[in-house]
Structure 1
Amino acid sequence: MVVTSLAGVSNAVAKTYLIVIEQMRFDPPVLIVHRGDRVMWVNKDLFPHTASAMSKAFDSREIAPSASWTYVARETGSYPYRCTLHATMRGTVIVQ
């Protein structure tokens, strides 16, 4: 028998949010999530992109065309990020 302690765990179920990379931009450009939620970037462009937090909290490395990358939001805060391959592509994930 396996017993799992749920002390300190909220009743909220983690959600998965989608950010689409397409036409040289992140959509939506600003996303608000909660701790424990997943953020998935899906690259629908014809070339690779990255989702790299300025604070270095996360870094997808290159996401190939038709591929995705997922990040689990563990710490609250505002996380501006960019594509390191295309300087004009920027977004923000806010973790509450």
Structure 2
Amino acid sequence: MSRLRRVALGVCAIVCAAGAGPAAAARYVVAIEQMRFDPPSVTVHAGDSVVWVNKDLVAHTVTAEAKTFDSGSIAPGASWRYVASKRGRHAYSCQFHPVMHGTLIVVPGP
């Protein structure tokens, strides 16, 4: 075995033993369709992103009741992305259609 290969394997062993580092942030998708959020509740880690995709024929918003986040108007066929940062339970709704409700639950990162 060449010296370079032994060094590379040694480095790999050290890195693997120490762990691969912080876990990559995850991405979650919430569909907006038939006048509802699907799924209606999503649990994510701080640092993960959530993308709301509007599959309806009308515009919608994703507006947190506590004003933590607000997408503004999301046109039909468009999407909006939010990186979860504030831990806790965040109820949200569509400002245009108050019967539409969802919950974003943000837990500490891994």
TM-score (normalizing by structure 2): 0.78
Give the match's secondary structure for 1:56: coil
The alpha carbon displacement at 1:28 in A equals 0.2
Report the Cα distance in structure 2 between the residues aligned to 1:75 and 1:34, rounded to whole angstroms. 10
Match of 1:77 among 88, 92, 96: 88
Gaps of 5+ in 2: 1-20
Are 1:28 and 2:44 counterparts?
no
The alpha carbon displacement at 1:31 in A equals 0.3
Question: Which has the greater radius of gyration?
Answer: 2
Report the Cα distance in structure 1 between the residues aligned to 2:31 and 2:66, rounded to whole angstroms. 22
Q: How many residues align?
A: 87
Matched AA of 2:67: K
* Structure with greater proportional strand content: 1
Report the Cα distance in structure 1 between the residues aligned to 2:40 and 2:104, rounded to whole angstroms. 8
Report the Cα distance in structure 2 between the residues aligned to 1:50 and 1:19, rounded to whole angstroms. 12
In the alignment, what sits opposite 2:3?
Answer: none
In the alignment, what sits opposite 1:59?
Answer: 70
Gaps of 5+ in 1: 1-9
Give the match's secondary structure for 2:98: strand
The percent identity for this pair of structures is: 55
TM-score (normalizing by structure 1): 0.89
In the alignment, what sits opposite 2:56?
Answer: 45
* Structure with greater proportional helix content: 2
In the alignment, what sits opposite 1:68?
Answer: 79
Report the Cα distance in structure 1 between the residues aligned to 2:91 and 2:81, rounded to whole angstroms. 16
Runs of 4+ in 1 over 4 A off after TM superposition: none
Aligned-residue RMSD, C-alpha? 0.8
Report Cα offsets for 1:23-80 as digits up to 9, x if no partner.
Answer: 0000000000000000000000000000000000000000000000000001110000
